[in-house]
C-alpha cells in the first residue's frame, strides 16, 4: 500500500493541514498510521465527511445521527489509559457509551445498565448502547431488562423503517443469538458475510459476530478465518477497542479447538497484555470454559494477581448465563425450530411413540431420529427428558453440555492442584 503525508493529503482534499490533523487525531481516516509525530495516510484514502456541515444539512436524519454516533464511539481508547477517552469526548451521549463499555469489561454490569438507562429520550444514543447493555443483562441473568431492550429495538425498526437503523438493530439481535447459542436466529446477511451496507466502523464488529456464529456451529476453521479477516482491519495494539480485544480471544478459541495451542496461547497472551493491566477481566471469564485450562495457565504465568477475579467472575456469571439461556430458549422455541420441527418436538416431548410420529409425517423412523438429532443440536440438549423441560414448560435446568464442560474444567483444576 502506498502512503502520502498529511501535507500532501491537505492539498489533495483541498482542506487545511489543521483539518487533516484533526481528522487523523479523531481516527476518521481508515488505516492511517502514526510514526513518531508524523502520519502516513493511504494514498487512496477519501476525504472524511465534514460532520458539522452534514449535520446541518440533515438535521432530522436518524440514520445520519447514528452514523455520527457510531463514528464517534468507535475511536480507539488510549492503550496506556483507556479511561482518558472520557476526557477526549465532550458530549455526554458519547461518554455514556465508553463508560458502559469500560464498566462491562471490568465486570461492573450494573453500571453498564445505568449508562444505558441514562440514554432515555435519545433514541440514537440508546440504540448505540443496546449491544453492550444486552450483554450486561445476560451476565446478570436479568431477563426483564433484556426484554425491555429487545422491545425497544423491534419498535425502532417498525417505527423508522430506516436501512441503517434496521441493520444495526438486527446486528444487535444477532449479539443475543450468538451469546445464548441460538445460531438459527442469526440474520442470513450476517451468516453470509454481506456487510456492504454497513458503515466501515461497524463492519469489524459484524465480522466478530460472524465468527461467533461459526463458533456456535462448531465450524472453527471458518471462525478463525472470520476473526483473522477482522483483525487485518483492527488497530495495531497501540490503542484499544472492545471489539479488537474480543477478536483476539475469538481467534485464540478457534485456534485452540483446531489443535493449534501454541498459536492460541500467543493470541490469548496478547489480549491479556492489552486488557488485564486495566482490570478488563470479563472477556477471559466469559471464555474460560471453551479454552480449557489455557486461560488459567496464561494468567498464572503473566498476571497472577488477576487470577482470583477472573475465576470468581466466571463462577458468579455462569449461573446467570444458564438461567438466561434456558428462559430465552423456552420463549423463542418457535423461532429456533422450524414449524415442522416444533410440532415433532411437541409429540416427542409428549411421549408419543416414534412409529406413530413417523407415520403421521409420512417419514421413516430413521429419518425421524435424524430430525430429532437436529432438534437436540439446535437446542443444545441431548435427550427427551431435557426436551420435555423446554417444550412442556417444566422447571429450568442446566443444559447437559454446559454442566459437562464446567465439570471438566473443575476436574482439570483439581488435578493441577494435586
**54 vs 118, which has greater pLDDT?**
118
- Scored b (16 or more CB within 10 A) or e, 244-270 reads bbbbbbbbbbbbbbeebbebbbbbbbb
pLDDT recorded at residue 55:
46
* Cα gap 180→37, rounded to integer Å: 45
- Helices and strands in the chain, H and E counts: 24, 5
Whether domain 334-417 has CATH 1.10.10.10: yes
pLDDT recorded at residue 64:
86
Q: Is 72:96 a contact under the CB 8 Å cutoff?
A: no
Cell of 348: 416427542
Which of 123-137, 292-306, 373-387 is the least confident region? Answer: 373-387
Compute the average pLDDT of residues 9-19: 81
Which of 54-68, 164-178, 350-364, 386-400 is the least confident region? Answer: 386-400
Assign domain 62-302 to a CATH class: mainly alpha
Compute the average pLDDT of residues 134-159: 92
Compute the average pLDDT of residues 70-97: 91
How high does pLDDT run on average in the chain? 85
Query: What would the pLDDT profile of 347-365 be if each residue is shown by its tens digit?
Result: 998 889 999 999 999 999 9
Cell of 82: 483507556
Compute the average pLDDT of residues 87-106: 94
**Residue 223: pLDDT band by 50, 70, 90 thresholds?**
very high
Q: Where does 286-337 show beta strands of DSSP type E?
A: none
CB count, 10 Å around CB of 83? Answer: 12
Give yes or no for residue 326 having a pLDDT over 60. yes
| Half-sphere CA count of 296, side-chain side, radius 13 A | 16
Give yes or no for residue 276 having a pLDDT over 90. yes
Which of 63-77, 217-231, 391-405 is the least confident region? Answer: 391-405
Compute the average pLDDT of residues 397-418: 45
pLDDT recorded at residue 369:
93
pLDDT recorded at residue 143:
94
Cell of 190: 450476517
Those residues with Cβ within 8 angstroms of residue 325's Cβ, 6 or more apart along the chain or in another chain? 180, 181, 399, 402
Amino acid at each position: 500500500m502506498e502512503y502520502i503525508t498529511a501535507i500532501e493529503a491537505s492539498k489533495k482534499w483541498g482542506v487545511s493541514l489543521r483539518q487533516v490533523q484533526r481528522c487523523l487525531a479523531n481516527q476518521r481516516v481508515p488505516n492511517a498510521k502514526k510514526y513518531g509525530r508524523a502520519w502516513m495516510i493511504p494514498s487512496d484514502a477519501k476525504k472524511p465527511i465534514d460532520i458539522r456541515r452534514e449535520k446541518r444539512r440533515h438535521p432530522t436524519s436518524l440514520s445520519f445521527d447514528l452514523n455520527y454516533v457510531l463514528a464517534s464511539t468507535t475511536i480507539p481508547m488510549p492503550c496506556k489509559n483507556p479511561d482518558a477517552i472520557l476526557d477526549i469526548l465532550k458530549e455526554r451521549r458519547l461518554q455514556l457509551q465508553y463508560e458502559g463499555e469500560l464498566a462491562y469489561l471490568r465486570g461492573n454490569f450494573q453500571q453498564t445498565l445505568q449508562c444505558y438507562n441514562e440514554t432515555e429520550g435519545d433514541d440514537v444514543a440508546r440504540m448505540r448502547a443496546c449491544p453492550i447493555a444486552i450483554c450486561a443483562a445476560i451476565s446478570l441473568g436479568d431477563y426483564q431488562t433484556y426484554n425491555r431492550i429487545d422491545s425497544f429495538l423491534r419498535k425502532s425498526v417498525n417505527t423508522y423503517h430506516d436501512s441503517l437503523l434496521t441493520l444495526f438493530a438486527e446486528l444487535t439481535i444477532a449479539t443475543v443469538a450468538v451469546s445464548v447459542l441460538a445460531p438459527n436466529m442469526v440474520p442470513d446477511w450476517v451468516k453470509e458475510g454481506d456487510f456492504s451496507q454497513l458503515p466501515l466502523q461497524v463492519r469489524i464488529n459484524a465480522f466478530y459476530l460472524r465468527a461467533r456464529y461459526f463458533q456456535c456451529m462448531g465450524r472453527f476453521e471458518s471462525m478463525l478465518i472470520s476473526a483473522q479477516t477482522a483483525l487485518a482491519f483492527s488497530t495495531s495494539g497501540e490503542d484499544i477497542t472492545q471489539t479488537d480485544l474480543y477478536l483476539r480471544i475469538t481467534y485464540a478459541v478457534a485456534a485452540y479447538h483446531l489443535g493449534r495451542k501454541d498459536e492460541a496461547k500467543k493470541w490469548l497472551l496478547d489480549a491479556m497484555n492489552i486488557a488485564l493491566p486495566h482490570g478488563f477481566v470479563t472477556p477471559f471469564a466469559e471464555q474460560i470454559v471453551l479454552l480449557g485450562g489455557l486461560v488459567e495457565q496464561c494468567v498464572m504465568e503473566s498476571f497472577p494477581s488477576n487470577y482470583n477475579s477472573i475465576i470468581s467472575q466466571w463462577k458468579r456469571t455462569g449461573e446467570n448465563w444458564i438461567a438466561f439461556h434456558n428462559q430465552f430458549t423456552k420463549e423463542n422455541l418457535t423461532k429456533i425450530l422450524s414449524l415442522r420441527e416444533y410440532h415433532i418436538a411437541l409429540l416427542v416431548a409428549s411421549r408419543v411413540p416414534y412409529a406413530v410420529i413417523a407415520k403421521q409425517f409420512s417419514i421413516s423412523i430413521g429419518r425421524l431420529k435424524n430430525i430429532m438429532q437436529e432438534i437436540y443440536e439446535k437446542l443444545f440438549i441431548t435427550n427427551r427428558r431435557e426436551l420435555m423441560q423446554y417444550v412442556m414448560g417444566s422447571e429450568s435446568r442446566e443444559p447437559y453440555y454446559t454442566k459437562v464442560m464446567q465439570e471438566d474444567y473443575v476436574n482439570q483444576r483439581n488435578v493441577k492442584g494435586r
